[in-house]
Structure 1
Amino acid sequence: MSNKELSQVEINDFSSIDTRSQESFNKWKFFFLNTKYDHPANEDIFEGEPYTIDTLLTYQSEQRLDKKTAPLWKKIIGFIWDPIFLPPDERKYVAKIDFFIYIYAIFACFIKYLDQTNINNAYVSGMKEDLNMYGTNDYNWLTTYFNIGYMSFSVPMAILLKYVRPSIVLPTFEVLWTVIVMFMATVKSKEAVYGLRFLQGAVESSSFPGLVCLIGEFYGTEGQGKRQFMLNATNPISSMFAGYIQAGVYTSMNGKYGLPGWKWVFLVDGFISIPVAFLGYYCLPDFPQTSRAPWINKKDRQFALARAKSMKKVKPEPLTLKNFWEIVKSWKLWLFLGTYVMVTIGANSTSYFALYLKSLKKYSVQQINIIPTAGYAFQFIAMFLTSAISDYTGNRVSMITLCCSLGFVSCLLLSIWDIPFGLKMFAYFLGYGSSSQSIFTSWFTETFYDEPLLKTINIALGNTCVYAFNGFLPLGIYKTKDSPHFPIGYEISAMFFVIGIIFAWLFWFIVKKYNAIRSEKEKELSEEKETIVSV
């Protein structure tokens, strides 16, 4: 046989590949790829144990504490941390998952929101004057270019996460994000800032949708709201710290080594972010069926598989044109997008508080950065309480209605504008309590628990739509030249809150019907299986 013929046989006949090379190739696929490849240990995970996955599920279900009959002290703890009602072994597993996922997720989201807030603080702390940003919409373009990058890459990033492990994708793009942030300290023109903001949006687009979907695979109905809240809560916390950091850096570092204080903030962001990015490679567990995290042991894998089965979680699948088209045609996509966008975009009316404070010309740079932190503290408390109550009661729609109502009253007062100073400050602070994004994402992921592709694509498209609105809508309704009054801005934001309430109740009504039909079908299927077994 000629060398050419031999080469052709080796190419076409996979079995002719050296065994060690084949094992190396499979290990490479398992290391990077997210689909098709369950962890090898899962194949015989219950072998030699005195129980199976079904008996483990039965035992865990029987040992679970009923919230209604639990002692008062456990009810109080359960309001904050729901695993208190689980059996000890499962509680230990959930605590472990909580720790490793959130030690990365909280810091990662904190750093990203910190930068998003710092761009606003930098603008009122010298960047406007240093880069000659006196145009009609120069302030809004900072957000618009970021949003264009984010919405352009959001869906491609979601698709990438269906193929490559989150523990590879998310930390890697965080490293890239860190480099871009630190380059902000070198800019000498507003055009350079706009370009870097676009790149920041592009690399950041994988983070929030990826973490939302990952969390949705490890947790069920109970606790979903609080855990989604923990991602979103990094927004007000980082915004608070951004004010303190900007004030502190401006005071202590302004002019050091020839750099103004607002540039030093971006360097500080970058230095903090580097260790967080590398932490993700170790901490993120990917998905229950495919996790290769070094801190997961055999017992953890058993609980992961048992919980995934009890919650009816489906292993992630590759995205094809066929199932993508099925998602696009589905009412679930469009109902989600309408509700998600309406309950989210109105909340950005608080972004212009600092501009109002600066227009009064009676506060220092440090005070302009610090005063809004009280609003972020209220936002954190409001988000926690509404998320925890919605988890404890299972009533998501009422909490969304409450949040949107707070936003509506805030925007209504600000649209009137000619009101006493104290009432105007109250209106600004009240608007910080309008965030219901985490409640709705929890509601959606728990409703469509068995459709991982739908959840991934919808969250990505939802963020794309929100960033599209936030990228271009302010250019028309929150023009920089109209600051701080914005004649039509607050009126339109108030309208979005009202529409958000309507969409939330529409989602509740349709999902209620959908769940009833699905439950009936599952009951019929269960009865058919029992009949077959008895025969």
Structure 2
Amino acid sequence: MTTEKAPITTGEHKVEFEEHEEIKVDSINNYAVSPLEIQGRFDTLRDLSATQMTALNKRVLRKMDWRMMPTITIMFLMSYLDRINVSNARLAGLQEDLHMSDTVWSAGISAFYVGYLLGQLPGNLWLAKAKPSVVLPTMMLAWSACTICMPAMTSGAGFVVCRFMIGLTEAPFFPGITLLTSSWYTREENPMRMAVWHAGNTISNIISGFLAAGILEHMGGLAGLASWQWFFIIEGGASILVAIVAFYTLPNWPTNTKWLNQEESEMAQYRILLSNGGKDEAVGGTWDGVKDAVRDPFTWLFCGIHFSLVNAQSFKDFFPSIVKTFGFDKMTTYLVQAPPYAIAYITACLVAYTSGRFGESTYHIIIPIVASAIGTAIMISVENVGARYLGVTLLISGTYSGLNLQLSWETNLVPSPRSKKAALIAIANCVSQVSHWYSPYFFPTSQEPFYRLGGGLILFGCLSTVLLCWAIKWRAVKLNKQLDEAEGWSEHSGNERGWRYVY
């Protein structure tokens, strides 16, 4: 058996195994710990040839792409659909039927995010030590049950309580799948994979419009229920079916996933160790991880950028109401919501691909967010319907691309230990959700048709995002210079360069 091993190349930033064959583990950095040293830690990998390593890597990556990615994409789609379904239900008479004022309606929207914030950190820390294949589907069953209870609401108070419970049960899911993805995919792969499942929220907006057109317009009065009640029943029932399937298709961690054999499990661990510069992400206690995250300035910089991006996306819960001001009939209002989100999905995937391919995050976030600011300016200042439609398309595309890349960026900058990464993701997501406590009050019906108050909040989010991206880049460059000095590395030193922060 051939036992030719893999040299590190310092010029092309990739790990080569044989002529014309390679594993692209990371296109950004080389490593102080060699791939051969890491490979030697695993019994089943130790004696594999370069060709065998390449084939095994491809097999593991293919398994993950075909088993985990479709599952978490559909789960996230359903969770986001559950979050936004009230916007279209509002157009179908939910607010009027429950005799809610704009203030009570906004309180219900905010209540979701109160519950969502409370469950974030404990939920993600629990997940880091538990089995994702059990925890995540169980959470989905819980929020689906709450959704199915919504047709029983008879007052604004009931609406507020239901939305709070849905937020609480859904809280660990988003940071949980962010943590899970970053624990299976390398730096180069991470942005694109996160774009695939994170785009589930754009797809859910497309589906929501079509569901609204089909259910809200044609099922009113069936079995004595209002159309918005059927909307929640059907959406909640579909989520339960997805959760049941997820118990069998989701992985756990690379060390304990049942549908990987030992060789595949060790390759999954090898890939992540190599991407992390030899650092074991499973090392570290739960509260040690929290303390490390709190002390790390990157945590608070990413809290700021996530908070800013969520402010820039504050239009989400009111997008159907914004489109309604364009003057279309109700059916057209439902249907024209889809194209901007379809464009946003394609844009997010393209931007994520180039970010991972070239190892750059700062300007891959800044350029789309500037486009969002331009779109917002058009939306709040121009009367022409075509121009405003273009404006909301730019707004959606830029903010969704930015939020997706921010998620992969934070997990690439803090790849280990898992407990610290889990804490960082949850803390940043917690802080960002605070904006939902007040942002609904920036979009009252009295602001129609331009919603200039909400537009101002969006522009504030865009500007803050740009400034914080530069701040994160500045810190990463500074830390990389310190690592260069500590290792005695320079472009002309001939030394091997170790793990570095990406920006």
TM-score range, shorter chain: 0.7 to 0.9
2:94 counterpart (112, 127, 131): 127
2:235 counterpart (269, 287, 295): 269
2:384 counterpart (395, 420, 435): 420
Counterpart mapping for 1:273-422 below 5 A: 273-289=239-255, 291-293=256-258, 295-311=259-275, 312-317=278-283, 319-349=285-315, 351-359=317-325, 362-415=327-380, 417-422=381-386
Residue 183 of structure 2 is matched in structure 1 by 217
Residue 433 of structure 1 is matched in structure 2 by 397
1:139, distance to aligned residue in structure 2 (A)? 3.4
The aligned amino acid for 1:108 is: M
Paired residues in the alignment total 453
Residue 110 of structure 1 is matched in structure 2 by 77
Are the equivalent residues in 1 in contact too, given 2:293–2:421 (CA < 8 A)?
Answer: no
Deviations 1:339-363 (A, max 9, x none): 2222332123354342134345x53
Are the equivalent residues in 1 in contact too, given 2:73–2:198 (CA < 8 A)?
Answer: no
Deviations 1:307-334 (A, max 9, x none): 2332235243564545433321221211
Structure 2 gaps, min length 5: 9-13, 25-52, 490-494, 497-503
Deviations 1:10-53 (A, max 9, x none): xxxxxxxxxxxxxxxxxxxxxxxxxxxxxxxxxxxxxxx997xx
Are the equivalent residues in 2 in contact too, given 1:412–1:490 (CA < 8 A)?
Answer: yes
Matched residue SS, 1:220: coil
Deviations 1:153-193 (A, max 9, x none): 11111121133221221111111111111111221222112
Q: Does 1:62 align with 2:33?
A: no
1:236, distance to aligned residue in structure 2 (A)? 0.9
Are the equivalent residues in 2 in contact too, given 1:123–1:139 (CA < 8 A)?
Answer: no
The separation in 2 between residues aligned to 1:66 and 1:333, in whole angstroms, is 31
Deviations 1:100-153 (A, max 9, x none): 1112201110111112221100001121221122x2323322320110000011
Residue 40 of structure 2 is matched in structure 1 by none
The aligned amino acid for 2:161 is: G
Deviations 1:385-434 (A, max 9, x none): 1111111221211110112101111222233x353332222212221112
1:278, distance to aligned residue in structure 2 (A)? 1.8
Matched residue SS, 2:416: coil
The separation in 1 between residues aligned to 2:347 and 2:353, in whole angstroms, is 10
The separation in 1 between residues aligned to 2:331 and 2:387, in whole angstroms, is 23
Matched residue SS, 1:432: helix
Q: Does 1:249 align with 2:215?
A: yes
1:202, distance to aligned residue in structure 2 (A)? 0.5
* Structure showing the higher helix proportion among its residues: 1
2:477 counterpart (489, 506, 512): 512
Are the equivalent residues in 2 in contact too, given 1:340–1:437 (CA < 8 A)?
Answer: yes
1:266, distance to aligned residue in structure 2 (A)? 1.1
Q: Does 1:199 align with 2:165?
A: yes
1:298, distance to aligned residue in structure 2 (A)? 2.5
Residue 483 of structure 1 is matched in structure 2 by 448
The aligned amino acid for 1:305 is: Q
The separation in 2 between residues aligned to 1:397 and 1:270, in whole angstroms, is 38
1:456, distance to aligned residue in structure 2 (A)? 0.9
1:465 counterpart (425, 428, 431): 431
Residue 168 of structure 1 is matched in structure 2 by 134
1:447, distance to aligned residue in structure 2 (A)? 1.9
Matched residue SS, 1:241: helix
Residue 33 of structure 2 is matched in structure 1 by none
Structure 1 gaps, min length 5: 1-48, 68-85, 529-535
Q: 1:408/1:517 Cα in 2 relative to 1: closer, same or farther (>3 Å)?
A: same
The separation in 2 between residues aligned to 1:261 and 1:514, in whole angstroms, is 56
Are the equivalent residues in 2 in contact too, given 1:162–1:317 (CA < 8 A)?
Answer: no
Residue 409 of structure 2 is matched in structure 1 by 443
The separation in 2 between residues aligned to 1:93 and 1:522, in whole angstroms, is 34
Deviations 1:32-80 (A, max 9, x none): xxxxxxxxxxxxxxxxx997xx96898974244498xxxxxxxxxxxxx
Residue 34 of structure 2 is matched in structure 1 by none
The aligned amino acid for 1:398 is: Y
Matched residue SS, 2:188: coil
Deviations 1:456-507 (A, max 9, x none): 11111111122111222332x3234333433422123212201211110111
Q: 1:260/1:99 Cα in 2 relative to 1: closer, same or farther (>3 Å)?
A: same
Q: If you compute each CA radius of gyration, which structure gives the higher value, 1 or 2?
A: 1
Instruction: Calculate the TM-score normalised by the size of structure 1.
Output: 0.79
Q: Does 1:258 align with 2:224?
A: yes
Matched residue SS, 2:92: helix
1:194, distance to aligned residue in structure 2 (A)? 1.2
Q: 1:92/1:323 Cα in 2 relative to 1: closer, same or farther (>3 Å)?
A: closer
Q: 1:263/1:57 Cα in 2 relative to 1: closer, same or farther (>3 Å)?
A: farther
1:281, distance to aligned residue in structure 2 (A)? 1.9
The separation in 2 between residues aligned to 1:57 and 1:161, in whole angstroms, is 37
The separation in 2 between residues aligned to 1:343 and 1:165, in whole angstroms, is 30
More moved, 297-306 vs 176-185: 297-306
The aligned amino acid for 2:80 is: Y
1:286, distance to aligned residue in structure 2 (A)? 1.6
The separation in 1 between residues aligned to 2:408 and 2:132, in whole angstroms, is 20
Matched residue SS, 2:251: coil
Are the equivalent residues in 2 in contact too, given 1:411–1:494 (CA < 8 A)?
Answer: yes
Instruction: Calculate the TM-score normalised by the size of structure 2.
Output: 0.83
Deviations 1:214-273 (A, max 9, x none): 110111111211111112100110110111011111233221101111111111112211
Residue 20 of structure 1 is matched in structure 2 by none
Aligned-CA RMSD value: 2.7
Are the equivalent residues in 1 in contact too, given 2:148–2:233 (CA < 8 A)?
Answer: yes
Residue 54 of structure 2 is matched in structure 1 by 87
The separation in 2 between residues aligned to 1:116 and 1:89, in whole angstroms, is 39
Are the equivalent residues in 1 in contact too, given 2:288–2:420 (CA < 8 A)?
Answer: no
Are the equivalent residues in 2 in contact too, given 1:125–1:365 (CA < 8 A)?
Answer: no
Matched residue SS, 1:188: coil
The separation in 2 between residues aligned to 1:120 and 1:454, in whole angstroms, is 36
